[in-house]
Chains A and B, each alone.
Chain A
Amino acid sequence: MNWIQVLLVIGLLLVGFYLVRARPSASHLALRRLFVILTTIAGVVVVVWPGLLIWLAHSLGIGRGADLLLYGLVVFVLVDSVSNYKRSVNHARTTSELARALALTEERLQESIEELAALKQSTSTKTTKKSAGTPIAKRK
């Protein structure tokens, strides 16, 4: 087995594990940013010194630098899409919580309005001669 094969298998397994297990958190965000920064730096370095990429590819047992770049790209895309999937799941949960809170608040409001209307009706029919201020004072 080549070094690159070992590296790729480990990398892909890690991506799979990350998809099934890890929960998004603050450290997740930090890692995500670190990942982007490192990829950018590596990109610049490889563009400035193309020989470096070829040397690295040879030492990992790959014929061409372009192949190493492709492998790197595949892993990068996988990590990025999994990370995005996690984020969208998180967003969906937040939206659900918000929608639920809104729905329940609205229902409670509706119920209070109904109660108030019922109260008004009962007081207006029962106490025709008493002042209108009493029901409000009672509720307090």
Chain B
Amino acid sequence: MSADTSLKPIGVCQNRVMSSRPSAQSGTSKNPDVWVVIPLYNEAQVIGKVIDELHAKFENVVCVDDGSTDGSGAIAAAHGARVVTHPINLGQGAALQTGITFARVRPETQYVVTFDADGQHRIEDALAMLQLARTEHLGCVFGSRFLDDRTQPGFLKKVVLKTAVVVTNFSTHMKLTDAHNGLRVLSVDTCQKINMLQDRMAHASEIVAQIGKAHVTWKEYPVEVLYTDYSKAKGQSLLNAVNILFELIVK
């Protein structure tokens, strides 16, 4: 277990400057040993753009279409992502697990990047986290929006997220600063140890718990979450925190 404060300087850089750096690091190769896993549920408006942007840096993108009713899966396929389609809606946790199961059996896979479909993550952050995992041979890198003050969630959202952090840390004995961030980098070995049973939102805490139990080396990395009007409208409500709490306590 490593202290999250030690890596803070890595992320301290100006937003605009940072974007040029990872492309220089990755060069011309598009990370052929990485699979980007996107749980996808009714994001037809934005998913195409998200995939196009990802494809500039990652050649392998898989969308797990969790029974979308707005044709998100077809759009993802048209934009060149591999699409795995759940016949019924199971929840984000189940979609994430399907994506991890899909990626971990492939011979080329060394790392799995989990990415949200609504375009709230920055690709520069994903690349930097991947770089960190590669150079320090980490089993897992968690994105955290609370390690610096770039991200500005609303007050209520902050309360919800911080509550989730406290509950997760209490139940998993880990010391994270952001429990419900969709941006993570997992090594293939870590993926073998993960089997999420929570179909719904509590999976974010469950994945932390399983990584804690498996004694995987991990770090947190400061990321910026882009709260667009689109993602704001879809965000989690306070009542959802009650659901997460219940699902974590009641097995």
Contact = CB atoms under 8 A, between A and B. Distances in A.
Interface stretch (B18-26, B97-105, B184-192): B97-105
B251 A99 contact: no
Contacts, number: 45
A100 B249 contact: no
Contacts of B249: 20
Nearest to A111: B82
Interface residues of A, number: 17
Residue among A93, A95, A102, A107 with the most chain B CB within 10 A?
Answer: A107
Contacts of B102: 104, 107
Interface string B121-133: 0000000000000
B84 interface: yes
Given A92-B199, A93-B197, A96-B94, A103 B87 contact: yes
Tier of interface size on chain B: 10 to 19
A104 B84 contact: yes
A103 B251 contact: no
Interface string B100-142: 0110000000000000000000000000000000000000000
A107 B86 contact: no
Interface-centre pick from A23, A92, A96, A107 (highest chain B CB count, 10 A): A96
B85 interface: yes
B250 A99 contact: no
Contacts of B214: none
A22 to B, nearest CB: 8
A104 B197 CA distance: 17
Interface in A1-30: 19-21, 23
Nearest to B65: A103
Interface of A: 19-21, 23, 85, 92-93, 95-96, 99-100, 102-104, 106-107, 111
Interface of B: 64, 82-88, 90, 94, 97-98, 101-102, 197, 199, 249-251
